[in-house]
């Protein structure tokens, strides 16, 4: 499984060569599923979504996509639903359960899941599978990325929910800097930007690769410039 994020196909930092390399890598790397944790676009306009959809259509494995804060600008959340059918996608099979949630708020950088969604998360992640929660906003602050005015507004409640449900992985994006925290039995994984140069310091464009087998998982961070991979998690 691949975890990619923050494509920003219409940003001035978007790198078309990197995007082409990403698509080729995902199509030839034996991936069964590609999880995309938001910010496909920059301003959420229809033309931007059309470019994002064209890029994503080139990715052959099955995709699970949630919107980011940039995707919800200018009523872009409506266009997202038109193109991708749901802002709360789900996947279950092969011993894993994935619950995707829209954490964005219209025309705000801040996000939240909201109490009305907690029961849905409980229903989807109540079994004994390896459990993944996917959203755009990070729940735990990422070092070196500035003030935390863009964190999930109900992060404390969502954090408790993840711990209570024994969620194995929480996948997010938003900060353009790869990072992993572990709290109790849950790994909180923030992906970098996969194909832009909107980077922090000397970081590099990247995405995450998961190898999952028999309830065990290994996660590698892939450097898109060099294609080197670095093991970050082994359960």
CATH architecture of 2-234: 4-Layer Sandwich (3.60)
Separation between Cα atoms, residue 187 and residue 193, nearest integer Å? 19
Region 100-116: what's the mean pLDDT? 94
- What's the pLDDT band for 60 if we cut at 50, 70, 90? very high
Provide the whole-model pTM.
0.96
Looking at residue 145, its pLDDT comes to 82
Reference 187, options 219, 211, 164; nearest CA is: 219
Region 165-185: what's the mean pLDDT? 96
Q: What is the 3-state secondary structure (H, E, C) of 72-99?
A: HHHHHHHHHHHHHCCCCCEEEECCEEEE
147 three-class SS: coil
- What's the pLDDT band for 86 if we cut at 50, 70, 90? very high
Looking at residue 149, its pLDDT comes to 58
- Dihedral Cα 209, 95, 59, 38, nearest 10 deg: -70
The total number of residues written for the chain in this structure:
235
Per-domain residue ranges for the chain? 2-234
Structure tokens of 62?
């099955």
């Amino acid at each position: 499984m691949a975890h990619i994020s923050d494509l920003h196909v219409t940003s001035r930092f978007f790198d078309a060569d990197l995007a082409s390399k990403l698509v080729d890598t995902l199509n030839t790397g034996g991936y069964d599923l590609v999880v995309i944790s938001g910010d496909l676009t920059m301003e959420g306009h229809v033309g931007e979504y059309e470019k994002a959809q064209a890029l994503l259509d080139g990715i052959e494995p099955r995709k699970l996509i949630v919107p980011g804060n940039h995707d919800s600008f200018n009523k872009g959340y409506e266009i997202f639903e038109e193109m991708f059918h749901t802002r709360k996608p789900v996947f279950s099979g092969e011993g894993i359960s994935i619950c995707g949630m829209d954490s964005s708020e219209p025309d705000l950088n801040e996000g939240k899941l909201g109490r009305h969604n907690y029961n849905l998360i409980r229903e989807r992640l109540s079994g004994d599978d390896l459990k993944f929660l996917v959203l755009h906003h990070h729940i735990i602050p990422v070092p070196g990325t500035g003030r935390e005015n863009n964190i999930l507004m109900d992060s404390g409640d969502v954090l408790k929910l993840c711990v209570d449900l024994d969620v194995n992985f929480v996948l997010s994006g938003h900060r353009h800097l790869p990072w992993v925290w572990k709290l109790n039995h849950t790994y909180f994984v923030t992906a970098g930007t996969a194909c832009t140069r909107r980077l922090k310091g000397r970081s590099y464009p990247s995405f995450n690769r998961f190898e999952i087998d028999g309830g065990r998982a290994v996660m590698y961070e892939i450097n898109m410039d060099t294609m080197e991979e670095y093991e970050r998690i082994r359960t």
